[in-house]
Each structure stands twice: as C-alpha cells, then as structure tokens.
C-alpha cells in the first residue's frame, strides 16, 4: 500500500498555462482524504510553490523547494543546506566569463546583478521579488549573516548549458549537486541538496518505507528521485533519458498525467 506521493511541479503537476487541472486537483484531494502524504518537490523557491500548494490542499504538509535545499513544514524550516561563500565567489567568477544569467536563491529571497528577459520571466512565474544589486553587496550581506545561497540558477542557451554543466561537474563533482531542470536552466546546490535526498529525509521523518512511495517527475533534476521511488513515474513530456529510469511513463502534464498515474496505482473509489 502506498503511503506517500512526491510530485514535481513544473512540467508535472501544472500544465503549460501554470494551472492544475481539475481531475488532478480532485485526485490529490482523495489522496489526502485517505491520509496519504502528498509532497510537492520543486526547483522553485518556496513562495513560488505556496499558491499551488494552497490550491491542491497541501499547505499543512511539507514542501521541498529549491531542489531540496529548503524544506518547510507549516512555515517552519525543517531542512536547509547552502553553498559556502568561498565556493559561491569562485563560481561567480568562473560563470561571469560565460554569457549567462545568474540568480542566487537564499531562503525566500533571490538576488541578481541585472534585469533581463530571463530574470523577468523567472520573477513572473515564481512570484518572487528579485533583488537587483552588485554581487559583492549580496556577498557582504551573506557574510554578515554567515549564510550563503541554497541554489544558484544559471540560464543560457541549451548548448552553453551543456558545456557549463560538463565543466562544473569536472571541478565540483563531490562538492555540489549540478543538474538541469530544463534545456536553458542549470541548477547548482550543495551536494546535500537534491530532490532524492529531500524524499529520503521526509521518509525518515514520517517513518515511511521506500517501497511505500510513488514519485512523479519530468526532468533531469527529477531523475534521481524517480529512480529512488518505490514506484518511479516519468511524465509523457519527459526526456527519453528520464523515461528510461522510470518504472512507468504516464501521459503529459497537459493531459492529466499526474491524475492518470495516481489512479492507476492507488485505488481512490469512494
């Protein structure tokens, strides 16, 4: 019997118009009525997830944001990891040699050095005010707080992202978690932060076994948690490499893939 369902947000739970379909919303409500844990696991910052969580009725349950780097339960932070400032400064120097857009996420804030079309879109979609200021000001602020970013988002062309990912993995393989969430996005976190590790953390917290969970996702940053899940499900719109590690491939996010996957494996009749 499945006791928990972990669901990615973009490309999985929500459609291309950023809404949750009514069949999917109703299916999640039925899971909750059966006391099945439903957790959203997303690359988004927490404030970019809360309205979606409210819509599907999971606000009182854990939310794993920033690819597992910041996990919140009812406004209480229950897990957090960050990139140390020395590594952050080195990464910034290395990346500024490329033609990229950089965003630095720390808890419920986001920092960037310049506003461009990528930053505008990220702010619009995630609904997080992005503070535009020189990188050194951001670093000075973090030094005073003795903190650092939970996630660095690199935005560039698909070809550039592939090259940067290969280069960074060669340098930081054991220190950072580096993964793509879409062709133009590269996500960089502390090695302790990943969607799979977020799932493992919450299984331990709720005393749930690996074989008792369903995991649903659509992209490369979901790949590890799909492999880990007792039932790992890839969306129909997922890349072939992600589908290859899944136990089952459902329909697309625009065609009720989450609803179809859940109702296939969990009986929800009244």
Q: Which residues are catalytically annotated?
A: 8
Give which of 157, 159, 158, 139 is closest to 149, Cα–Cα.
139
What gap in Å lies between CA 68 and CA 50, rounded to an integer?
15
Alpha-carbon distance of 169 to 66, in angstroms, equals 19
Rounded to a whole number of angstroms, the distance between the first and last alpha carbons of the chain is 17
Cα–Cα distance for residue pair 79/107, rounded to 1 Å: 11
The CA-atom distances, in angstroms, between 109 and each of 34, 89, 93, 223 are 35, 18, 22, 27
Dihedral of CA atoms 219, 85, 138, 166 in degrees, nearest 10, equals -30
Q: How far apart are CA 99 and CA 165, in angstroms?
A: 14
The two tokens of residue 167 are 């280069």
Structure token digits, residue 169:
């993995």
Tokens found for residue 109: 């804030």
Q: What is the DSSP letter of 129?
A: P
Pair 154, 104: CB distance under 8 Å: no
């Amino acid at each position: 019997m499945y006791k928990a369902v972990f669901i990615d947000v973009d490309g999985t739970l929500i459609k291309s118009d950023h809404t949750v379909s009514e069949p999917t919303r109703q299916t999640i409500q039925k899971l909750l009525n059966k006391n099945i844990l439903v957790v959203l696991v997303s690359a988004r910052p927490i404030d970019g997830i809360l309205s979606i969580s409210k819509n599907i009725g999971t606000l009182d349950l854990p939310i794993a944001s920033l690819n597992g780097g910041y996990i919140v339960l009812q406004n209480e932070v229950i897990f957090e990891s960050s990139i140390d400032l020395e590594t952050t400064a080195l990464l910034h120097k290395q990346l500024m040699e490329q033609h990229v857009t950089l965003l630095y996420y720390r808890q419920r804030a986001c920092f960037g050095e310049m506003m461009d079309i990528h930053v505008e879109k990220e702010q619009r979609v995630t609904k997080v005010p992005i503070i535009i200021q020189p990188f050194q000001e951001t670093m000075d602020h973090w030094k005073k707080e003795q903190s650092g970013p939970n996630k660095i988002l690199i935005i560039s062309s698909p070809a550039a992202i592939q090259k940067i990912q290969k280069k960074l993995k060669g340098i930081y393989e054991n220190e950072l978690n580096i993964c793509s969430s879409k062709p133009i996005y590269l996500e960089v976190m502390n090695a302790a932060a990943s969607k799979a590790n977020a799932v493992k953390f919450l299984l331990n917290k709720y005393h749930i076994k690996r074989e008792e969970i369903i995991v649903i996702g659509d992209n490369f940053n979901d790949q590890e948690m799909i492999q880990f899940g007792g039932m790992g499900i890839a969306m129909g719109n997922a890349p072939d490499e992600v589908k290859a590690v899944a136990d089952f491939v459902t329909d697309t996010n625009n065609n009720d893939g989450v609803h179809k996957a859940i109702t296939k494996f969990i009986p929800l009749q009244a």
